[in-house]
Amino acid sequence: MVMSRYVVVFDYGFGNVRSAERALVRAGAEVEITRDYDRAMAADGLLVPGVGAFAACMAGLREARGDWIIGRRLAGGRPVMGICVGMQTLFSRGIEHGIETEGLDEWPGTVGPMKADAEHSVPHMGWNTVRPAEGSRLFAGLPEDERYYFVHSYAVHEWELETGNPAMAAPRVTWSEHAAPFVAAVENGPLWATQFHPEKSGDAGARLLANWVGTL
C-alpha cells in the first residue's frame, strides 16, 4: 500500500496558501495549512510560499519562528521547499529600493532587482521556459520546452555556492532568462525551491510538485 505523504504549508501571512494546498492535494499529498511548530517539524515535507516584499516576508517568517523551523528541519535532513519569495528568503540577503535585509542564509547570494530592456519589462509576469539542471529530479518527466508561471520583480542573478567537497552532491541549479539569466529553481539536498509558481503552472506545475512529494 502506498503511504500518503504529509505536507505542511507554512502559514506565516505571506503566500498563496490555499492555491498551494490544492496543488499539493492534486499531487497526492495529505496537506495542512498551519504555523504550529510541532506540526511543521513533524511533517514529511514543509512548503514555504511567499508573495510581496522580501523584508516583509522575512519579518513574517521570524515572527512565526519560521527561520528556526526551517533551520532545524534542514539540520536534520528534513525536506523543505520554497516558492517565489519563499525561495528568495533562503539566500543571504535581499535588496529592495536600496534597503538591504538579511535573509535565512541557507545559500550565499543576493536577491536584487530584475533587469529590463526594450523587450522585457518588470515585473516579470507570465509564462516562461527554464533550463533544468542536468539530472534534475524536480523536472523529471517534463518536456524541455515546458513553460511555468512567474510573477516577480526581484531574483538571484548569480549562483555563489560551491561545495568544494567531492563527497557532497553539487546543487542542481535551473536557470531562466528575462533580459538576463536568473535562478529559476534549486535542488540542494533536502532544500528545494522555485522562483516560479508551480501551483499556478497547470499540469506542468502539478507534475513538478508530484515529483517533490514523491521524494519525501
Residues acting as catalytic residues: 84, 197, 199
Residue 171 CA to its chain's centroid (Å): 14
Alpha-carbon torsion angle 215, 103, 18, 77, nearest 10? 20
Q: Which three cell numbers stand for residue 119?
A: 523587450
Q: Which three cell numbers stand for residue 41?
A: 517539524
Q: How far apart are CA 161 and CA 169, in angstroms?
A: 12
Closest CA to 172 of 144, 155, 194, 151: 194
- For 168, other C-beta atoms within 10 Å of its C-beta total 10
Q: Which three cell numbers stand for residue 85?
A: 519569495
Residues 6+ apart with CB under 8 A from 195: 84, 87, 88, 150, 152, 155, 156, 176, 182, 183, 184, 185
